[in-house]
Amino acid sequence: MEFAVAAAHEIPQDLAQIITEKQQSPFKLTYSDNDNLYIVVGYGEQAGGSYSIQVHELYLTENSIVIDTELLGPETGEAAGEEKSYPFIVVKTEYSDLPVIFQ
């Protein structure tokens, strides 16, 4: 299944607002418009920055879409910083009405 990680300017305004409202705690959600399906995984409040999120898998089964992501922390020896961050990822793919299974 083809997908792209959506850049901030590619995220629909309504979805960006939902993410802002939910970012304090871990969350998983889907959002769709007429053409695309957005799959969002947020990891809640984290101490410091330098986090990244890896998509291990995104695939289509007969009756669902499955996504598996992982939060990667700062590298060993890398300072996380003092400020809090709210890492999340928005994966953009073609529209589907199949349910999404988060692993």
Residue-wise pLDDT for 40-52, tens only, equals 999 999 988 889 9
Residue-wise pLDDT for 49-93, tens only, equals 889 999 999 999 999 999 999 999 877 666 666 789 999 999 999
pTM, two decimals, is 0.91
Closest by CA position to 54, among listed 44, 67, 64, 66: 67
Domain enclosing residue 16, as ranges = 3-102
Domain count for the chain: 1
